[in-house]
Amino acid sequence: MKVYNDSDAQPAKVKSRPVAVIGYGSQGRAHALNLKESGCEVIVGLREGSPSATKAQADGLKTMPVAEAAKAAGLVALLTPDMSHETIFASEIAPNMEAGDALLVAHGFTVLYERIKPAADIDVILVAPKGPGDLVRREYERGAGVPCLFAVHQDASGDAAAKALAYASLIGGTTAGTLETSFREETETDLFGEQAVLCGGATELVAAGFETLVDAGYAPEIAYYECLHELKLIVDLLYEGGFAKMHEFISETAIYGDLVSGPRVINDETRARMRDVLSDIRDGTFARNWIAENEAGKTEYDRMQKADLDHPIEATGRELRAMMPWLQADKNSAKKAA
Query: 92-95 — which CB contacts under 8 Å span 24+ positions?
Result: 92/65, 92/66, 92/67, 93/22, 93/66, 93/67, 94/118, 94/119, 95/67
Q: What is the pLDDT of residues 77-133, one digit of tens each?
A: 999 999 999 999 999 999 999 999 999 999 999 999 999 999 999 999 999 999 999
Give the pLDDT score at 210. 98
Q: What is the pLDDT of residues 275-323, one digit of tens each?
A: 999 999 999 999 999 999 999 999 999 999 999 999 999 999 999 999 9
Reported as a pLDDT band with limits 50, 70 and 90, residue 71 is very high
Active site residue 31: no
Determine the average pLDDT of the residues in 244-272: 97
47 is in an annotated binding site: yes
Rounded to the nearest integer, the mean pLDDT of the chain is: 95
Give the pLDDT score at 337. 46
Determine the average pLDDT of the residues in 184-212: 98
What is the number of other CB atoms lying within 10 angstroms of the CB of residue 151?
24
Evaluate if residue 5 carries a pLDDT over 70: yes
3-state helix, strand, coil in the chain (%, to 5): 60, 10, 25
195 is in an annotated binding site: no
Evaluate if residue 338 carries a pLDDT over 90: no
24 is in an annotated binding site: yes
How far is residue 277's CA from residue 271's CA, in Å, rounded to a whole number? Answer: 10
Q: Where are the beta strands (DSSP E) in 96-239?
A: 102-105, 123-129, 148-154, 178-180
Among 107, 153, 229, 311, the active-site one is 107
Q: What is the pTM of this model?
A: 0.92
Determine the average pLDDT of the residues in 18-34: 97
Confirm if 220 and 209 have CB atoms less than 8 A apart: no
279 is in an annotated binding site: no
Give the pLDDT score at 336. 46
Determine the average pLDDT of the residues in 22-29: 96
Evaluate if residue 214 carries a pLDDT over 60: yes
Q: What is the pLDDT of residues 155-196, one digit of tens each?
A: 999 999 999 999 999 999 999 999 999 999 999 999 999 999
Determine the average pLDDT of the residues in 217-222: 98
Question: Which domains are assigned to the chain?
Answer: 6-181 (3.40.50.720), 190-329 (no CATH)
284 is in an annotated binding site: no
Tell which residue, 52, 44, 54, has the closest CA to residue 76.
44
